[in-house]
Amino acid sequence: MNDDRFSLKKRIKSFRYAFAGLGVLFKYEHNSWIHAVAAICVIVAGFLFRISYVEWIAVIIVIGMVFSAEIFNSSIERIADYIQPAKDGRIRDIKDLGSAAVLVTAITAAAVGIMIFLPKIIGLG
């Protein structure tokens, strides 16, 4: 019988799995380091330019979007490679779609960054 009752111990264990997933991301997915460096630079710039509360919300959301997209993409790539290790055009398309999702979120994050920081850099904000 499956025990579906709430358990604090199970919830804590689930966080352990999630943090292990972040470990896998940063250990094996090299693009995650590029995203991390970009995020750190943006966060530092946020403090230097004293961005507003609303601007911080936007920055935090887009950083989370990019990392989430990278995690989903990495998951898709791993499961696709597991299911079909040989070259396959359908798997290539699936992996390309996952990569496109990361690209779209990164472009969105860059656009938000430009909208927030460019006016401050050129002295308009």
Average pLDDT taken over every residue of the chain? 94
3-state helix/strand/coil string of the chain: CCCCCCCHHHHHHHHHHHHHHHHHHHHHCHHHHHHHHHHHHHHHHHHHCCCCHHHHHHHHHHHHHHHHHHHHHHHHHHHHHHHCCCCCHHHHHHHHHHHHHHHHHHHHHHHHHHHHHHHHHCCCC
> Using one digit for the tens of pLDDT, what is the confidence trace for 48-64?
999 999 999 999 999 99
Q: Is the pTM of this model over 0.85?
A: yes
- Whether residue 102 is predicted with pLDDT greater than 70 in this model: the reply is yes
